[in-house]
């Protein structure tokens, strides 16, 4: 091999090493950038989750106080008013009316039961300790007592555990759906069905109301504030929402989210 060939071989080897070095540096830079982008996206998702969690906590607390106020006025207040009348009648009688006394005792028991139920609803641990179907059933029972719409709850599959914050956000989404049904759908019947799939939880909220036009963007941008919040919260829990509605044929809202 003459001198020129040696020089050419050295130059070619040096060029290949430089190309390889440049490629490795590019891959390192690309991997670092990808890692930074992933960390940033994760931070954004965490911030969004925490924001929706706090908002859900405040909204549930506000709704609980509104419900408690109505229950004290409508249930406990009326029971105590009746008790007051019964005691006044007993006080005015010359002889003790044991039947009226028994009714007064029942009024006291009912007031105590109502107050215990109100105390339970104030306990934030209730949502943490109970399952989603259970706390939804409790919510449906409260709605059914109003007579505005009849709500039923069902679940299928093997129930999977959910992180407390995620469970609270999902529950708030269900509440939002039920409130929309009460306010806007003119429905008489509604149902909430939980389907525990192997990899994700699917929740279907269905009503027999007037329905509406769903020709909107997939992210819910064309919907009202209530439905927009549902889409935002679905994003925060790495889930998705699908709305199927027809005018005068009711509405079904499907929420899907992974367990983790």
Ordered by where they begin, the domains of the chain are 1-123 (no CATH), 131-260 (3.30.565.10)
Cβ neighbours of 72 (radius 10 Å): 15
Residue bearing tokens 């499907």: 254
What does the chain come to in residues?
Answer: 260
Contact, 149 vs 209, CB < 8 A? Answer: no
pLDDT score recorded for residue 203: 97
Question: What strand order describes the sheet that includes 200-207?
Answer: 150-156, 189-196, 200-207, 251-258, 240-245
Candidates 181, 183, 176; CA nearest to 230 is 176
- Asked whether the predicted pLDDT for residue 115 surpasses 80, the reply is no
Q: What is the mean pLDDT of the segment spanning 121-133?
A: 72
Q: Is 234 exposed, middle or buried (0-12, 13-18, 19+ CB in 10 A)?
A: buried
pLDDT score recorded for residue 210: 93
**∠209-210-215 over CA atoms, to 5°?**
115
The tokens for 48 are 């969004």
pLDDT: is 189 or 6 the higher one?
A: 189
Task: Give the separation between CA 183 and CA 175, rounded to whole angstroms.
Answer: 12
- The answer to whether the predicted template modeling score (pTM) of the entire model surpasses 0.75 is no
Percent of the chain with pLDDT over 70: 79
Quick one: DSSP state of residue 238?
T
pLDDT score recorded for residue 222: 53
The tokens for 80 are 């105590």
State which of 80-94, 95-109, 119-133, 192-206 shows the largest mean pLDDT. Answer: 192-206
pLDDT confidence of 191, banded at 50, 70, 90? very high
pLDDT tens-digit map of 42-85: 777 677 777 777 676 667 666 666 666 666 666 677 777 777 77
* Average predicted confidence (pLDDT) for the chain: 81
Q: What is the mean pLDDT of the segment spanning 172-198?
A: 92
Distance, C-alpha 4 to centroid of its chain: 76
The helix-helix angle for 77-92 and 98-122 (nearest 10°) equals 160
The residues that bridge with 194 in the sheet, in sequence order, are 155, 203
pLDDT score recorded for residue 240: 93
Distance between first and last Cα of the chain: 66
Task: Give the separation between CA 206 and CA 197, rounded to whole angstroms.
Answer: 19
pLDDT tens-digit map of 13-53: 887 888 888 888 888 888 877 777 777 777 776 777 777 77
pLDDT score recorded for residue 14: 80
130-134, 217-221, 223-227: which range is least confident on average? 217-221
């Amino acid at each position: 091999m003459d001198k020129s060939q040696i020089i050419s071989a050295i130059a070619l080897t040096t060029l290949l090493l430089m190309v390889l070095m440049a490629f490795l540096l590019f891959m390192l830079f690309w991997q670092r950038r990808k890692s930074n982008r992933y960390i940033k996206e994760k931070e954004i998702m965490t911030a969004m989750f925490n924001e929706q969690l706090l908002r859900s906590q405040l909204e549930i607390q506000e709704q609980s106080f509104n419900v408690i106020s109505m229950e004290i006025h409508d249930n406990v207040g009326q029971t105590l008013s009746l008790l007051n009348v019964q005691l006044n009648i007993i006080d005015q009688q010359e002889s003790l009316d044991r039947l009226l006394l028994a009714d007064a005792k029942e009024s006291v028991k009912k007031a105590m039961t109502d107050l215990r139920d109100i105390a339970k609803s104030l306990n934030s641990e209730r949502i943490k300790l109970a399952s989603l179907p259970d706390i939804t059933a409790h919510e449906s029972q409260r709605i059914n007592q109003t007579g505005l719409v009849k709500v039923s709850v069902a679940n299928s599959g093997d129930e999977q555990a959910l992180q407390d914050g995620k469970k609270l956000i999902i529950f708030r989404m269900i509440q939002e759906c039920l409130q929309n049904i009460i306010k806007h759908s003119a429905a008489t019947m509604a149902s909430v069905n939980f389907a525990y799939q192997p990899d994700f939880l699917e929740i279907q909220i269905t009503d027999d109301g007037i329905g509406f036009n769903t020709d909107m963007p997939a992210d819910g941008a064309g919907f009202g504030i209530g439905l927009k919040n549902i889409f935002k919260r679905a994003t925060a829990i790495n889930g998705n929402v699908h709305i199927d509605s027809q005018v005068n044929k009711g509405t079904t809202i499907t929420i899907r989210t992974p367990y983790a």
